[in-house]
Amino acid sequence: MSGRDPWEGQPPQRAQPAPAPAGGLFSRPNLPFTLAIIICLGALVAFLVIVKPFSGGDTEAGSTSTSSTAATSSTDATGSTDATGSTTGGTQTDSSTSSVPELTPLQGFDLETLATGIPFPVGAFSLPDDDRIFVVERGGVIGVVVPGQGLLATPFLDLTDRVGSGGIENGLLGVAFHPDYASNGKFYVYYTTNPGLDSRVVEFHSSGPDATTVDPSTERVLLEVDQPGIRHRAGMLQFGPDGYLYVALGDGGLGDRHAQDLETYQGSILRLDVDGGDPYAIPSDNPFASGGGLGEIYHYGFRNPWRFYIDATENMLYIGDVGQSDVEEVNVVALSESGLNFGWPDYEGENCFTPVDSCDPSGITMPLVAYGHDEGCSITGGVVYRGSAMPELVGHYFYADWCTGLFRSFRYEDGQATDEQDWTADVTADGVIQIAAVGTDSNGELLLVDSNGQLLRVVPVR
């Protein structure tokens, strides 16, 4: 006999019913059995009627289960709920969210190194459903970082033949992908020219969303701004939910009043319709579209707005503006507001700057958040967090300081900065990093660009 089950190979046998006892249930031989069956059935009915073990009422612990959807906080036996909507203690009785992992409280951040050896990076951008991170190098290259692989050898776009990067504030400074990039392949770049160091906003065409390189000859110039100075170029580009391209320019660094002159582009944020004209159109609802200033200007009065951010979820505009002597500032306004004067050079933060002892605050939009040069010296405007790894921080605006590694966040609510938090110790635990930009990957998780050549991802510690 083999070592297999000895019944293996035998055809299944259907069980045969046992013959019924002769004489019926109430015959004398079967009467004891019949009475036993009746007693058992009676006991079962009483149990079902009185105890109700399958009813939706109280559980054996006396607690009440609360139904919720995935978007609703689930309540535990103690009735307490944490900031993420996850249960914080007791026995969770809601089965509808049992598949969602419970998060322990956020303790702080770690930094995951995604790439090193990047030549002076100043920005990091991503595309939906694309693991690649596009890193802007000030020298004139858009490189590609793939998590797990680092910086790829072949850049996405090489403009070193036309980018002027002399001085620390010039070079390739910004990129923005068209909202319809997946179908039209268009994206936009801000760089300073060689020669001249003038500001230039241009359009390029890729072969499609999966393109690994772009032909520099596809360049089409949209706007060129003559720059007599050599500093304060700003350079941020971003599309708003209105489909228009927003462009930041600094005041040029000459110590003049360009930022208050509506007939010059310096010291302003522009708003362009790149789909409506050749090379662009001025949106009809721009504040000076009908006169009174350059039609492209949307806001003015900036010194060097080093990174703004449009939060499409709340339709808000966040602007980090680098100070001169004493103050760094963050401004927050509704994107629908236009024609606002942010004060420079009359004001630095909320302080009179020129003249020092008398300036008129009427018509000036003051900063929401400011800090002094005892804490930093050059603000890096950041992003509003909308990722999933840190749900308790969704809606927080994160910003940094290039000089000291300062890294903070707040939530904008009813015109106020609320829930302000300082994360500097977390990101400088291994030494100060020079945060030139804050970005997000395709999942909305925070990225830090260290101008010393690193791309880092913020990882929660729980």
Q: Hey, where are the domains in the chain? A: 116-379
- Which DSSP letter does residue 208 get? S
Q: What is the pLDDT of residue 59?
A: 37
Tokens 């004891």 belong to which residue?
32
β-strand partners of 124: 135
The one-letter code for the residue type at 218 is T
pLDDT at 86: 34
Which of 115, 112, 123 lies closest to 382 in space, CA to CA? 123
Q: What pLDDT, on a 0 to 100 scale, did the predictor assign at position 40?
A: 58
Distance CA 271, CA 289 (A): 11
The CATH-assigned architecture of domain 116-379 is 6 Propeller (2.120)
Which DSSP string do the residues of 282-320 spell out, in sequence order? --TTSTTTTSSS-TTEEEE--S----EEEETTTTEEEEE
Cα–Cα–Cα angle for 398, 401, 404, nearest 5°? 130
- Its pTM stands at 0.79
Amino acid in the structure at residue 206: S
Whether the CB-CB separation of 397 and 318 falls below 8 Å is answered with yes
Handedness of CA 110, 113, 114, 117 (dihedral sign): positive
Residues of the chain short of pLDDT 70, as ranges, are 1-101
pLDDT of amino acid 34: 58
